[in-house]
Amino acid sequence: MATLTNSKQVIYYNYINGEWTDSSSKELLESKNPATGEVVGYAQNSTVQDVKQAIDTVFHAFNQSDWGYNPKRRYNALLGLAQLMEENIEHLARVLTMEQGKTIRESRQELTGCIDTLKYFAGAARTIFGRSIQLEPNNFGVIAKEPIGVVGIICPWNWPALLMIRELAPALAAGNGVIVKPASLTPAISVEIFKLIDQVPDFTKGIVSIVTGPGRAIGAAMGKSKKIDMISFTGDTSTGKTIMEMATSNIKKLALELGGKSPNVVFPDANLDKAIPLIGRSIFISAGQICMAGSRLLVHKSIKDEVVFRLKQYAENLQVGNGIHETTDMGPVASQSQLDLVAEYSEIGRREGKIITGGYRLTGGDYDKGYFFAPTIIDELASSCRVVREEIFGPILAVQSFSTDEEALVMANDSDFGLSAGVWTTDVNRAMRMSKGIKAGTVWINTYNKNFPEAEFGGYKQSGQGRTRGIDGLMEYCETKHIHFEID
């Protein structure tokens, strides 16, 4: 199989039953650099037939091998992949930046997160404990944790390496067989990681596959397949709802990591020197294309002018450009359709409120080759405004103000989403009240975007179902069985 050494074009194949195969369609999908328009590589435009073949082989490998019974083998496999990713991190980071557009520094951070996640779940594979219980005289129960079977993992394009590994690592650690379908915008980085999987002998042949192609065809085939026992889906809330409907075919287990509209709530006693750059980063990292983006700013009236002024300065000082350059702070958005969507929301925001900075596509010179949008802040917005309520997935911050703690809490919770939130205060009582009151899977106090493989992550309300990361994240990939002994 060809390897990608620089920006030259490469063909990426499906990985099925431990072998590189092309699609039965014989068609390829282009993966393009959103900063330059250049083709990064070509991936298989797979068909339902291809994905069915992958499901059959994973099903066979899971049922015919000792993978599910061999935690040490799984530990060695995951550690082996972590080691290879460490050795190849610069190459992977370049592919990730060229394909997705994020800055090279973000790419290294994303890949470091993958390596850390693999190491954590490698160890966890050896600690999948059940329980035992005396139930009656002569009756004894063992409550065992077992793999579910065949898991389908459907991934988005915004953090394509980490969001794949975040699910792949616990699914494999728990002893399942896995089929991955990456997003159509980011097949290259996903298949590059599978090239490393292929080099680790501890992975049982056929236990893990990747098939690239359109979600509506092959993602849907995974959603409907009766041989898949669980779907782990990360993506848009509306797609998540469609997957829920498909999963009824065989009452599949589901883990859903969906959209967000997360607030940063800033009180007058906050340390603004610390808060401003982290709030700025929370919305402009990955050009706002991150599920936990701090896309709503709720700020106390008494400090609003100062906070908005300082965030405007932060936004205007960001270097926007091709992420491959070390000095770039923010790259392009991922595609033309994403750029159109962001521009549309910016215009909606212009009508609904007041643009403080940004609000336009960046043009001229190299900007014309890619999908660059200026970091944007919109103020004077009511809670009913669309830019406050809807996930934009772009570099647009919506600002609102409040007068009391009670009002701040109501506004923070006035959303269909509940993925994450930031609270900025030096008053520990206020921090405790807010963190208990906010309906979100993660609440950061005086920080933002801090994630660890050992700490659970996930959504309240329409931000998802189940938890990823941590022990709860591992247990999502396990079935529970009661084995009952009656002693004569």
Q: Footprint of ligand NAD on this chain (CB under 6 A)?
A: 154-159, 163, 181, 183-184, 215-216, 219-220, 223, 234-236, 239, 242-243, 257-260, 291, 391, 393, 419, 459, 464
Question: Which residue among the candidates 291, 352, 476, 478 is catalytic per the annotation?
Answer: 291
Distance (Å, whole) CA 290 – CA 183: 15
Q: In angstroms, give the least distance from the CB of 5 to ligand NAD.
A: 27
Q: In angstroms, give the least distance from the CB of 236 to ligand NAD.
A: 3
Looking at the Cβ atoms of 312 and 389, the one nearer to ligand NAD is 389
Token match 């103000």: residue?
401
Distance (Å, whole) CA 354 – CA 284: 19
- CA neighbor of 270 nearest in space, from 282, 278, 259: 278
Looking at the Cβ atoms of 376 and 463, the one nearer to ligand NAD is 463
**Cα distances (angstroms) measured from residue 222 to each of 47, 67, 407:** 11, 22, 44
Q: In angstroms, give the least distance from the CB of 305 to ligand NAD.
A: 31
Distance (Å, whole) CA 461 – CA 441: 9
> How many C-beta atoms lie closer than 10 Å to residue 237's C-beta?
18
Looking at the Cβ atoms of 261 and 300, the one nearer to ligand NAD is 261
Looking at the Cβ atoms of 214 and 268, the one nearer to ligand NAD is 214
Q: In angstroms, give the least distance from the CB of 231 to ligand NAD.
A: 8
Q: In angstroms, give the least distance from the CB of 417 to ligand NAD.
A: 9
Question: Which residue among the candidates 110, 192, 257, 352 is catalytic per the annotation?
Answer: 257
- CA neighbor of 51 nearest in space, from 23, 86, 90: 23
- The verdict on whether 257 is a catalytic residue reads yes
Looking at the Cβ atoms of 8 and 241, the one nearer to ligand NAD is 241
Looking at the Cβ atoms of 13 and 157, the one nearer to ligand NAD is 157
Looking at the Cβ atoms of 103 and 232, the one nearer to ligand NAD is 232
Contact in structure between 345 and 289 (CB atoms under 8 Å): no
Q: What is the 3-state secondary structure of the chain?
A: CCCCCCCCCCEECEEECCEEECCCCCCEEEEECCCCCCEEEEEECCCHHHHHHHHHHHHHHHHHCCHHHCHHHHHHHHHHHHHHHHHCHHHHHHHHHHHHCCCHHHHHHHHHHHHHHHHHHHHHCCCCCCEEEEEECCEEEEEEEEECCEEEEECCCCCHHHHHHHHHHHHHHCCCEEEEECCCCCHHHHHHHHHHHCCCCCCCCCCEEECCCCHHHHHHHHHHCCCCCEEEEECCHHHHHHHHHHHHHCCCEEEEECCCCCEEEECCCCCHHHHHHHHHHHHHHHHHCCCCCCCEEEEEHHHHHHHHHHHHHHHHHCCECCCCCCCCCECCCCCHHHHHHHHHHHHHHHHHCEEEECCCECCCHHHHHCCCECCEEEECCCCCCHHHHCCCCCCEEEEEEECCHHHHHHHHHCCCEECEEEEECCCHHHHHHHHHHCCCCEEEECCCCCCCCCCCECCEECCEECCECHHHHHHCCEEEEEEEEECC
Q: In angstroms, give the least distance from the CB of 282 to ligand NAD.
A: 14
Looking at the Cβ atoms of 57 and 289, the one nearer to ligand NAD is 289
Distance (Å, whole) CA 200 – CA 172: 14
Looking at the Cβ atoms of 84 and 287, the one nearer to ligand NAD is 287
Q: In angstroms, give the least distance from the CB of 293 to ligand NAD.
A: 8
Q: In angstroms, give the least distance from the CB of 415 to ligand NAD.
A: 13
Q: In angstroms, give the least distance from the CB of 391 to ligand NAD.
A: 5
Query: Catalytic site residues?
Result: 257, 291
